Amino acid sequence: MILDEFKLDGRIALITGASRGLGQAMALGLAEAGADIVGLDRSTSDEDTGSKVRALGRRYYNITADLRQTSAADLKSIVAEVETAMGPLHILVNNAGIIRRAPAIEFSEVDWDDVLHINLRSVFFLSQAAARAMLPRGSGKIINIASMLSFQGGIIVPSYTAAKSGLAGLTRALANEWARHGINVNAIAPGYMATDNTAPLRADSARAESILGRIPAERWGTPDDLKGSVVFLASEAAQYLHGAILPVDGGWLTR
C-alpha cells in the first residue's frame, strides 16, 4: 500500500538545529511518522523538543555542538556517536543555519565566515560523514534546507545568498555521486516562514506588506508547513527523487 511507503518506523534521523522553529517542526513530523530523533544544537539542553518527541512514543537523543567551530573530524565523530547511542543513521536533515544582514559594501569578514561555515561548510562535511556510514548499507536520505535565496539574490544578505545558492548546487552534486549507491540527496526550499530569522522582516511593516503581497497563499508559512515535505523526502515514497530542490513557499516563486 502506498501509505506504508511514508512510514518511518525503526529509522534514526539526525536533525541539526532541532531545538526550535523549522528544525523542531521537522523533528516532530519525522517522529510522528515513526522515526527516532537525534537533535544537534548549540544548546546544552533541548528538553522541549525531546519531551515532545518522547510524548509521541519515540526515542530522543541530544548532541551539543557549535557548527561554527566544528571540523570535519568533529562531524565524523558526531555521526559515530549517533550510531553508538541510537543505531544506524538512516536520515540526515541539514537544517541549522544563521543569517546576518548588512549592505555588501559594509559586510564583515566575521559575518561572511560564520554564515558560510554553518550554512554550507558544515553541511558538506556532515553529509560526507553520514554518507560514509550509509554507503556500505546501500541506503540513506540526506535532506538539505535551502531557501528562496537558492533561486534569488535577496537584499543585504550576501553571505546567506551565497551559502544557500551553494547548497542547491551541492545538493545536485552529491545526488549525482551517491544516487547509484542508494542514497537520496534532496533539498527543501522554505519560503517566507514566521521564524526568528524573519522577525526583522515581519517587524518592518513596509517590507512585510510587500512580501505578503507576493505570496499567492496570502500568508507567511509556519514551521508545521514543512512536516509533509520532510517526511516525504525521508521516506521510501521518494526513492526515485534525486537532486531536487523542493519549494515550500506558498507559491512565491510562481509570481
Q: In the sheet where 91-94 sits, what is the strand order?
A: 60-64, 36-41, 12-16, 91-94, 140-145, 183-190, 245-248
d(CA 184, CA 31) in angstroms, rounded, equals 20
Report the SS3 class of residue 183.
strand
220 closest CA partner among 21, 16, 9:
21
| Chain Cα centroid distance, residue 115 | 15
Strand locations in 166-255 (E):
183-190, 245-248
What cell was used for 4?
A: 506504508
Residue 43 has pLDDT above 80, yes or no: no
pLDDT at 176: 98
Which pLDDT tens digit goes with each residue over 118-150? 999 999 999 999 999 999 999 999 999 999 999
CATH number for the region 2-248 comes to 3.40.50.720
- The Cα–Cα gap between 86 and 191 comes to 33
Q: How far is 244 from 175, CA to CA, in rounded Å?
A: 9
For range 212-238, the mean pLDDT: 97
Exactly one of 60, 61, 160, 192 is catalytic; which is it? 160
Query: Known catalytic residue: 160?
Result: yes
Write the pLDDT tens digit of every residue in 146-176: 999 999 999 999 999 999 999 999 999 999 9
Please report, for the chain, the start and end positions of each structural domain, with discontinuous segments joined by +.
2-248
Residue 201 is predicted with a pLDDT of: 84
Residue 46: pLDDT band with limits 50, 70, 90 = low
Phi, psi torsion values for 60, nearest 5 degrees: -140, 140
- Residue 204 banded pLDDT, cuts 50, 70, 90: confident
Per-residue pLDDT at 196: 83
pTM, two decimals, is 0.96
Q: Is the pLDDT reported for residue 36 higher than 80?
A: yes
Q: What is the pLDDT of residues 50-67, one digit of tens each?
A: 999 999 999 999 999 999
Cell 547548497: give the residue. Answer: 167
pLDDT tier at 216, thresholds 50, 70, 90 = very high
Query: Could you read off the pLDDT of 239-250 as tens digits, one per residue?
Result: 999 999 999 999
The average confidence (pLDDT) of the chain is 96
pLDDT over 80 (residue 45): no
In degrees and rounded to multiples of 5, residue 117 shows phi and psi of: -65, -50
- Centroid of chain to Cα 72: 18
Cβ contact 93:171 at 8 Å:
no
Q: Which residues contact 46 (CB under 8 A, 6 or more apart)?
A: 18, 19, 39, 62
